[in-house]
Amino acid sequence: MSTSNPIDPVESTKFKPFVPEGMQMREFTWRAVLLGLVLTVVLGAANAYLGLRAGITIAATYPAAVIAMAVLRVWKGSLLEENIARTAGSIGEGLAAGAIFTIPAFVISRAWPSFGWREAYWKSTALMMVGSVLGVLFISLVRRVMVEDPELPFPESVAASEIHKAGQRGAQAAKYLFWNIGVGGLVYILGKFGLFAADQDFPFAIGNLGHSQVRLGTLGTTQVVATGGTSIISAPSVSPAYLGVGYIIGVKLASIQFAGSVLAWGLLVPMMIYFLGPELRQYLPADTPNNWAGMADSVWRYIVRPIAVGGMLVGAAYTLFKMRKSLTSGFGKALSDMRQTAAERAELSRTEQYMSFKTVFGLIALTFVLMCALYVHISGLLWPAILAAVVMLVVGFFFATVSGNLVGFIGSSNNPVSGLTLSTLLIAALLMVSLGVSGTKGVAVVLGVAAVVCVSSSVAG
């Protein structure tokens, strides 16, 4: 009769790193950092342009991983060096998202007369730098808990790690990777030249008004009337890019995102158009086009999307409530680690070494003081600016945590940073109104809070 040793359930579920904990390998080197900075500038600029043009940004993790692998392979760099360069390069996306969603609003709202150096450039630079530093510091407090959370799949990080590991496994694995990149680029180019339809729309009717007439109201001098036989048309699009994202995040999360689109465009938009009728006009701009497509787009933009922002606020609160044990555990771990000596930290394994929490809390305090001075200078107000900095610190931490949690679930490409920013705007605006602050100074303070929180949340993710 043979016996077997019992398996420790903790050891069996503990994550085993691809690079063993005891292996000595170059990681934080000058060439990795410099390459990461170059990638940050290039990919950040590309995302800034894309975001200003289309309103969305894309994950810089994948191109940063491929470029870092290709460049450092020439220098015979290690896998951990590639990971450092890729991580630094992906930060450009977060910083770009925080900038494009908030900085133009200062000029549009006339809080800044122009975007010249004296009026705005150095101020926006300071806001971006403070937000970036705070994002790193905030997520450092709960990073260990999130990384060890078995419910967070971290889809984009897993995909990026597979890119690095493919390069380490040899030319055969890397060959498939670059072949896929080439095929994807060819499909995109053919689509741009009209030789291949990369995306395909499938229009279908989801409701028929029969022979009745539904008067939607008056747009200028034109009355919008839907007569007999008119249907509400929906046109979902099938795209290889979205199929790829769905493959990465998995069936469950992809289904949730798809359900949100169906709820918005398949239910809320046509239901509001059908039932509200003439009353719908009071909620839409006067220049709304007098056709179904224009009406549906305006309903989504000005009614359904604010509903989604409200739902996001509730979801953020619920996420924080679910994470209460994790947050408490993270803070408890941070406070206990503050009592560690330098010798004790040096004895930890490579994967257990973190930035000293004494340094983290000290830098947060220093950044808060600098933020107070910046807000006072931007607005010309003292106590409202200091209170706004306090709100920024509290809301920024919670939204950075929510952002990190969302990225762990659905990836940074799908991280609703703009929704978190709008939520921050609402909170800061209500605070300023309650204090009696209005006009250009109040707008500057509110946008300053939103800019820092937006950047910190994006970078934290």
Task: Kindly report, residue by residue over 207-217, the tens digit of the pLDDT.
Answer: 444 444 444 44
Rounded-to-5 percentages of helix, strand, coil across the chain: 70, 5, 25
User: What is the distance between the alpha carbons of residues 89 and 83, in angstroms, rounded to a whole number?
Assistant: 10
Q: Please tell me the least confidently modeled range out of 52-66, 160-174, 235-249.
A: 235-249
Q: Once rounded to an integer, what is the mean pLDDT over residues 278-301?
A: 79
Residues 6+ apart with CB under 8 A from 19: 25, 79, 80
156 compared with 338, residue with greater pLDDT: 156
If you compute the radius of gyration of the chain from its CA atoms, what whole number of angstroms results?
A: 25
pLDDT digits (tens, 9 = 90+) for 408-426: 877 776 677 777 777 788 8
Nearest to 102 by CA among 459, 451, 461: 451
258 compared with 175, residue with greater pLDDT: 258
User: What is the distance between the alpha carbons of residues 445 and 377, in angstroms, rounded to a whole number?
Assistant: 10
pLDDT digits (tens, 9 = 90+) for 331-364: 777 777 777 777 777 777 777 777 778 888 889 9
Neighbour tally for 178: CB within 10 Å: 14
Q: Once rounded to an integer, what is the mean pLDDT over residues 280-303?
A: 80
* Per-residue confidence (pLDDT) for residue 412, from 0 to 100: 73
| pLDDT exceeds 80 at position 29 | yes
Q: Please tell me the least confidently modeled range out of 89-103, 207-221, 259-273, 328-342.
A: 207-221
Decide if 202 contacts 234 (C-beta within 8 A): no
| pLDDT exceeds 90 at position 154 | no
188 compared with 211, residue with greater pLDDT: 188
* Per-residue confidence (pLDDT) for residue 395, from 0 to 100: 85
* Per-residue confidence (pLDDT) for residue 30, from 0 to 100: 92
Decide if 32 contacts 85 (C-beta within 8 A): yes
Decide if 58 contacts 47 (C-beta within 8 A): yes
Q: Once rounded to an integer, what is the mean pLDDT over residues 386-394?
A: 87
Decide if 373 contacts 39 (C-beta within 8 A): no
Neighbour tally for 292: CB within 10 Å: 17
407 compared with 240, residue with greater pLDDT: 407
Contacts made by residues 222-226, CB under 8 angstroms, sequence distance 24+ = 222/290, 224/290, 224/291, 224/295, 226/292
User: What is the distance between the alpha carbons of residues 83 and 26, in angstroms, rounded to a whole number?
Assistant: 11
Decide if 42 contacts 92 (C-beta within 8 A): yes
Q: Please tell me the least confidently modeled range out of 10-14, 93-97, 181-185, 382-386.
A: 10-14
| pLDDT exceeds 50 at position 316 | yes
Nearest to 290 by CA among 209, 223, 215: 223
35 compared with 254, residue with greater pLDDT: 35
pLDDT tier, 314 (very low <50, low <70, confident <90, very high otherwise):
confident
Supply the DSSP symbol for 160: H
Mean pLDDT over the full length of the chain? 76
pLDDT tier, 125 (very low <50, low <70, confident <90, very high otherwise):
confident
DSSP H helical segments within 6-78, as ranges?
A: 9-13, 30-54, 61-74
Task: Let me know how long the chain is.
Answer: 461
| pLDDT exceeds 60 at position 229 | no
Decide if 111 contacts 447 (C-beta within 8 A): yes
* Per-residue confidence (pLDDT) for residue 4, from 0 to 100: 46
pLDDT tier, 150 (very low <50, low <70, confident <90, very high otherwise):
confident
| pLDDT exceeds 60 at position 206 | no
pLDDT tier, 226 (very low <50, low <70, confident <90, very high otherwise):
very low
* Per-residue confidence (pLDDT) for residue 38, from 0 to 100: 92
DSSP H helical segments within 170-222, as ranges?
A: 171-192
Neighbour tally for 182: CB within 10 Å: 10
| pLDDT exceeds 70 at position 31 | yes
Decide if 142 contacts 404 (C-beta within 8 A): yes
- H or E element at residue 17: none
- The two three-digit tokens of residue 55, written as one number: 């309103």
| pLDDT exceeds 60 at position 5 | no
pLDDT tier, 440 (very low <50, low <70, confident <90, very high otherwise):
confident
Neighbour tally for 113: CB within 10 Å: 12
Highest mean predicted confidence (pLDDT) among 151-160, 329-338, 389-398:
389-398
Decide if 124 contacts 447 (C-beta within 8 A): no
Neighbour tally for 135: CB within 10 Å: 29
204 compared with 92, residue with greater pLDDT: 92
pLDDT tier, 37 (very low <50, low <70, confident <90, very high otherwise):
very high
